[in-house]
């Protein structure tokens, strides 16, 4: 797969969560997160198909540390679907923090997938909620459109980008990640673990880890 010459009939650029709260100054800022915007802007014109994802939590979402008295952000908690990282309140529906970065070009997006809007289930992947059973509908959309390859970019490399890329492979799509158009949170080695998991899943990694 060559991201510089995408196949207009089969390839899609999937832009993950380039929102204010994940950029410098945001509630869950990824270091240097806004640096992905110009790289994504340069990539977009090469793709005939573009889809965006948007983290979209109701206030008081169960994955927020504030919903668990005595618990702090970045601790882990047992949820019915497994271990869940507790996050600072972020990307709350209707807030400026949930908005896309103002310099991100939205005009060419064919679809916006909102995720994490169910109050008790977090959602990293563009394809499934964190219970690993509840689909977003993206796989069906790609199949009905006849799209076979997904090129991913955005925030953050080690969470929503990696989960989405691995799920793309599990759903039978080819997948590549433009690492120069991603940035990571890197909690306790999570970036290295995500890179290894993506490689094992058959995701093509373009450029160096970010």
Task: Return the active site residues.
Answer: 17, 115, 160
CA distance 183 to 24: 12
Answer yes or no: are the C-beta atoms of 128 and 136 closer than 8 Å.
yes
Q: What is the C-alpha to C-alpha distance for residues 154 and 141, in angstroms, rounded to an integer?
A: 20
Cα–Cα nearest to 173, from 139, 123, 206, 141 = 139
Contact between residue 16 and residue 161 where contact means Cβ atoms under 8 Å apart: yes
Helical packing angle, 162-170 and 190-201, nearest 10°: 20
Element containing residue 76 per DSSP (H, E): strand 76-79
| 27: nearest Cα among 158, 188, 155, 165 | 155
Question: Which residues, 6+ apart, have CB-to-CB distance to 128 below 8 Å?
Answer: 134, 135, 136, 167
């Amino acid at each position: 797969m060559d991201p510089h010459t995408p196949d207009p009939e089969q390839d899609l650029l999937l832009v993950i969560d380039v929102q204010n709260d994940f950029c410098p100054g945001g509630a869950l800022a990824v270091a240097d997160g806004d640096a992905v915007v110009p790289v994504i802007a340069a990539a977009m014109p090469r793709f005939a198909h573009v889809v965006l994802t948007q983290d979209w939590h109701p206030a008081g979402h169960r994955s927020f540390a504030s919903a668990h008295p005595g618990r702090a952000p970045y601790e882990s908690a047992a949820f019915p679907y497994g271990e869940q990282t507790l996050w600072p309140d972020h990307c709350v529906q209707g807030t400026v923090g949930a908005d896309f970065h103002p310099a991100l070009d939205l005009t060419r997006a064919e679809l916006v997938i909102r995720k994490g809007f169910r109050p008790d289930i977090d959602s990293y992947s563009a394809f499934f909620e964190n219970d690993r059973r509840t689909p977003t509908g993206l796989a069906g959309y790609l199949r009905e459109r006849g799209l076979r390859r997904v090129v991913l970019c955005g925030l953050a490399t080690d969470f929503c980008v990696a989960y989405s890329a691995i799920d793309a492979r599990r759903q039978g799509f080819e997948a590549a990640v433009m690492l120069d158009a991603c940035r990571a949170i890197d909690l306790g080695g999570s970036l290295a673990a995500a890179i290894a998991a993506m490689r094992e899943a058959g995701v093509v990694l373009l450029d160096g880890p970010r």
